Amino acid sequence: MTVVRVKGIKRYREPKTGKWYCYHRASGTRILAEFGTAAFFVELDKLNQKHAPKAAKDGTLAALIKAYRSSPAFQDLARRTQSDYQKVLDYLAIIDDTVLAEIDGPFVAELRDATYQLRKRRFANYVIAVLSAMLSFGIERGIVKENAVKGVKKVKRPKDAPEANRPWTPEERDIVLAEAPPHLQVPIAIGRYTGLREGDVIRLGKTAYANGTITVRTSKTGQEVFWPCVEPLAVILEGMPQHDAITLCANSRGMPWTESGFRASFFKFLGKLHADGRVGAGLTFHGLRHTVAGELAELGWDRRAIADALGQSDERQAGHYSRRANLRKKMTAIVQSLDTERNGKKVV
């Protein structure tokens, strides 16, 4: 029996009738002609031509995007960052025929405002951040002369908006770890006691934990991090269920976590706790990173030490993570000094 394999289509069999249907993969258009016939291939060829990717013209945003995506500047990004950038590049495809010489400050501001109306504040700011990275790349390659994003402000965060990735309260940390099933407890505990990013946690190999220490090179910055495990974390790691996955953390089936699978299970679990009134709103895995940074700041560690602990090459980000703890520590000292001063004087 001859097997015909055709690229660019997907076939679907209707369970009730047993009939097969064919769809053009790039456009999702159903192909009406019978599979394998001459009419089928004529129809497929017309769809391929209609939906063929446009050639990137020199001097356009499309050409810059193509050059950037094939460069080390993009290829060396962490997988999660590449995925996030790609969402922006796909979005910019609607204007990729724009001539680069036309991209100036007012153009970027208009793009920001239009994106804000369509996709909200965070995505609008991310779009101009990615565009800025591409334009900086273009300057180095002589593709553009200046970065038009510079001087264009981000969309301001509303004053009443909840804080993104807020630190977890001590009560929330205890409740979540106590209630989490083993396949979630292990990665959450690692995040809670080390501040590692979600992606780094679920990709940790089994050999990353040895002799009571977690050793990892972070995917985002390439910094090597060593975390001797405190007793609560060591107890969880030593008592975790056995599995055959090559990763330290595994899902309920004993398989390595995917990023989407972990996030779905994680937020479903937190959602139930929130619905039951056990934890507050806004808990995220990245909030544990802020939590650890805050704890280190409260203990008196400086920005460089916090940056090293979190695998950050830039101390400024460590300062961002720990700012709340520094403020709490400072204000506690201020109030104590005021209290001492007031109590030391006779009040008439």
| 119 and 222 housed in the same domain | no
| 256 and 191 housed in the same domain | yes
Write the DSSP string, 247-306: BSS--TTSSPPPHHHHHHHHHHHHHHHHHTTSS-TT--HHHHHHHHHHHHHHTT--HHHH
Compute the average pLDDT of residues 86-107.
91
| 74 and 188 housed in the same domain | no
Model pLDDT, residue 126: 94
| 39 and 77 housed in the same domain | no
Encode pLDDT of 294-308 as tens digits: 888 888 888 888 888
How many independent structural domains does the chain possess? Answer: 3
| Domain of residue 21, residue span | 9-50
| 134 and 207 housed in the same domain | no
Q: What is the CATH number of the domain that holds 223?
A: 1.10.443.10
| 318 and 233 housed in the same domain | yes
Q: Please name the amino acid found at residue 228.
A: P
In the predicted structure, residue 172 carries a pLDDT above the cut 60: yes
DSSP letter (8 states) at residue 345? S
Instruction: Please give the share of the chain, as a percent, with pLDDT higher than 70.
Output: 89
Whether residue 348 lies inside any domain: the answer is no
| 94 and 188 housed in the same domain | no
Whether residue 56 lies inside any domain: the answer is no
| 33 and 66 housed in the same domain | no
pTM score, two decimals? 0.65
| 112 and 197 housed in the same domain | no
Q: Buried b vs exposed e over 273-308: b needs ≥16 C-beta within 10 Å?
A: bbeeeebeeebbbbbbbbbbbbbbbeeebebeebbb
Encode pLDDT of 248-285 as tens digits: 999 999 999 999 999 999 999 999 999 999 999 999 99
